[in-house]
Amino acid sequence: MITSDKLASLYPRAPKDRLDSFVNDGPGVLKQAGITDTPNRLFFFLAQLGHESGGLTIVEENLNYSAKRLMVVFPKRFPTPEAAACAGNPEALGCQVYGGRLGNAKLPSKDGYLFRGRGYIQLTGRANYTIVGDKAGIKDLPSNPDRAATPANALALAAAFWTLKNINETADADDFVDCTRRVNGGLIGIAERRAWLNKVRRVFADPPANQPDAATVLGVQKRLVKLGYTEVGAPDGDIGRHTTSAIARFRQKNGLSPGMIDDQLLTALGLS
């Protein structure tokens, strides 16, 4: 369940109006998109939003680059310093990089800048503003593209994009790599995205009030680490958020019913 406390813990630098909107609008928007049907769908969604928006702090693409940085970010378009005439000029850069593609008109049109990345999942290009905006129920978004950056619209557009890209199916298959490809178009920032996913699982994990004896917990932790669930950390015989997160992930991946350390888990781990 999405609560103010959990969201604030997950995205501690996010402005209050964005957190409030997420708590108020999120349940309906995410339910309609099927994102809250399973923990994995929600966790994948929150992790990708965390990376794409810097923890809900970024809702508009920064196109203000130095010449040196331009050569790193857009190496094919700016292979030499002389080619970086767009340095320090966001409008010129947007028109140069995005003009004539993604449904944008070519220069001298300013479409490339007008339809720069906005929202929690950086929506880019006139075509995407039209298609995703219609799916989100935000009619005629291209006539006022700045609306894509408002808290409510940013969330609605992210959920609509998620649905159009059929990303729930990648969460159901526990395929975070394919999820990243569908969001990003590649695997840029995959390590950071995985870090976000681990954080989401920790924040949303609820350690049980009563836990088994330390020896049993220690055995579970060691087995999980051996199987690759490294978020457990150093086995210590105590169930904290990291171990709870790993158990939840193992149970989901192996088709076990929700729960913690029980006979079903011990059997699946070969510890019964």
pLDDT tens, 33-46?
A: 999 999 999 999 99
* CATH number (domain holding residue 210): 1.10.101
Is residue 144 within 8 A of residue 88, CB to CB? The reply is no
Residue 40 tokens, joined: 């994995």
Residue 103 maps to a domain: no
Same domain, 259 and 156: no
Output the pTM of the full model. Answer: 0.83
Same domain, 221 and 177: no
Which residues, in sequence order, are CB contacts of 15 under 8 Å at separation 6+? 56, 57
Same domain, 198 and 226: no
Single-letter code of the amino acid located at 32: Q
Same domain, 225 and 185: no
pLDDT tens, 144-157?
A: 999 999 999 999 99
Q: Which of 127, 92, 128 is nearest to 110 (CA)?
A: 92
Domain hosting residue 158, numbered range: 4-59+149-203
Same domain, 209 and 262: yes
Instruction: Judge whether residue 240 has pLDDT over 70.
Output: yes
Same domain, 263 and 236: yes
What confidence score (pLDDT) does residue 43 get?
95
pLDDT tens, 163-222?
A: 999 999 999 999 999 999 999 999 999 999 999 998 998 898 877 777 789 899 999 999
What confidence score (pLDDT) does residue 80 get?
77
Between the CA of residue 195 and those of 168, 198, 210, 231, what are the distances in Å? Answer: 20, 5, 28, 10
Residue 100 maps to a domain: no
Same domain, 55 and 163: yes
Residue 77 maps to a domain: no
Residue 154 maps to a domain: yes
Residue 98 maps to a domain: no
Residue 96 maps to a domain: no
Residue 254 maps to a domain: yes
Same domain, 156 and 263: no
What confidence score (pLDDT) does residue 83 get?
65
Same domain, 55 and 164: yes
